[in-house]
Chain A
């Protein structure tokens, strides 16, 4: 099968993830969408690896998975902490960075 289809699927998944990050307000869902974007990237990497016949892309995909796992741990931890301290679970209300 042509690599193009994989890339199209990857781009679609990425767009869905990015759209989700931009429109949703719940930190949990934003985290899920971020995962979606990362895995869209993974898909593209694996597809390229397959088309060029080398393993580099697959190794990168493994590294990205590790990073994603770390990020989820931190992100979920933050969300749990926010929940415990009764911080509203709405990214629009967390505006401490406003200048």
Chain B
């Protein structure tokens, strides 16, 4: 197994499994995934729908608990934490980017970005919240649109706001679930370039995609099928700017 070891281990999964039980059937969504992700990694999880990648992401995002196996995040055994501690962990160490952007409607870009800071412990004062949110917006190149509401922004811009929200707390890990799925190819490339810049500044990124062209921007690609990892390929030197024109595919 080739893995990119660019730093200390951030995520360590050992035989991680998720079983959904309904009244009549048991679905083994994730069955025994063992994986190490290092700080600074940029990982794409690929697989057909039903391959267990979403279940894996939910567990990685501390939104769902595993049925068995262990998940160490930055040296912490996540299974031992209670609901509130998980919330704190999500707030400090994780950032989320969703396919459908998931911004609050009728709320300015700035306030959307501020959202994680509202739940920080200790509380962040208003002035500092504003300042840090503006900085994050500047990072994604949207500071001129701080006052705009999501409905006044294009899809790409909305996703940038979502990325700004994910990075406003400078998390260890950003989890992106099909971040380009709702965007046209060109905008998708822009978003991927933004992720690459973020990654270059030290943030570890795990993203789910089913588009090989998009996965090409990542350093490492993990393929899943039927809840298992079937291939894991580290890419030694990703090219900033994309490997080739995606429009031709």
- The judgment on whether A and B are partners is no
Residues of A near any B CB (own CB < 8 A): none
